[in-house]
Amino acid sequence: MALNPRRTRATRTIAALMLREMSTTYGRSAMGYLWAVLEPVAGIILLTFVFSLALRAPSLGTSFPLFYASGMLPFMAYMDLNAKLAKSLQFSRQLLFYPGVTFIDALLARLLLNTITQAMVSALVLTSILFAYDLDVILDPAAIALAYSMMLALAVGVGTLNCFLLSSFPFWERAWAILNRPMFIISCIFFLFESVPQPWRDYLWWNPLVHIVGQTRVGIYATYDGAYVSPLYVFLLSMSLTATGLLLLRRYYSDIVNN
């Protein structure tokens, strides 16, 4: 069966963009990319250790490091992917003048490379905590995969829309940074959603990261049901943001590149 020339060209373009990002961001050696993985791993493990000294009693389970990591890992993965996708056009701006390179290629290249990186970071941190503290945990791979699918969908949606906003309105970068500051506190990283009193709990439910963190804990803690978690809400919100971002990029892509 003959290969589709357009699909083959797009695949090569995305692969070339991924290699370019690896060489420019992480250096030309394998150690550069390895350090890019190990640096956030070391950072999360260090923060986990520090917080475990101050907060010895987790809201769920018996290990604070595991409880903290179950919230921090999907949160940091979302923040990193969203930020990388938002700057896709800025990162590949010079290459976008070539007719064979489109904004879709730039988005997909950054998405694939950084998704692989964040998956490795999460696996290494979780494995390290389980072995270091000798924890007997029954993981649910399907539930964890659903959580990370929700995280990925949300990161794509927010990142795609922000890709247009950052490219069209330079002030949005600072505004978005300000809006994101409370997210570390209100995404249920340090506490359970069920422990939040009303009416704040109802307001907090609309934060999609709360659902992603909750679903991650469903996959890590066999006794946690996370009845409030709504994958449908996260996926519908993500699809709406992605569609809006893609439509705006398609409409104003030429203006963004040429200005």
- The answer to whether residues 165 and 88 touch, using CB atoms and an 8 Å cutoff, is no
Spatial separation of the C-alpha atoms in residues 257 and 252, rounded to whole Å:
9
The answer to whether residue 221 scores a pLDDT higher than 90 is yes
The pLDDT assigned to 29 comes to 59
Number of domains in the chain: 1
Residue 118 has pLDDT above 60, yes or no: yes
Averaged pLDDT score across all residues of the chain: 86
- Contacts (Cβ under 8 Å, ≥6 apart) of 244: 161
Q: How far is residue 41's CA from residue 39's CA, in Å, rounded to a whole number?
A: 5
**Terminal alpha carbon distance of the chain:** 43
What does the pLDDT look like over 135-174, one tens digit per residue? 888 899 999 999 999 999 999 999 999 999 998 898 999 9
What domain range includes position 68? 5-258
Q: Which range has the worst mean pLDDT, 31-45, 131-145, 226-240?
A: 31-45
Tens of pLDDT, residue by residue over 92-108, are 777 777 777 788 888 99
- Please report which helix (H) or strand (E) contains residue 138, including its range: none
CA 247 to chain centre: 22
Query: Which pTM does this prediction carry?
Result: 0.89
Tell me the per-residue pLDDT of 79-95, one tens digit each, with 9 for 90 and over: 999 999 999 888 777 77
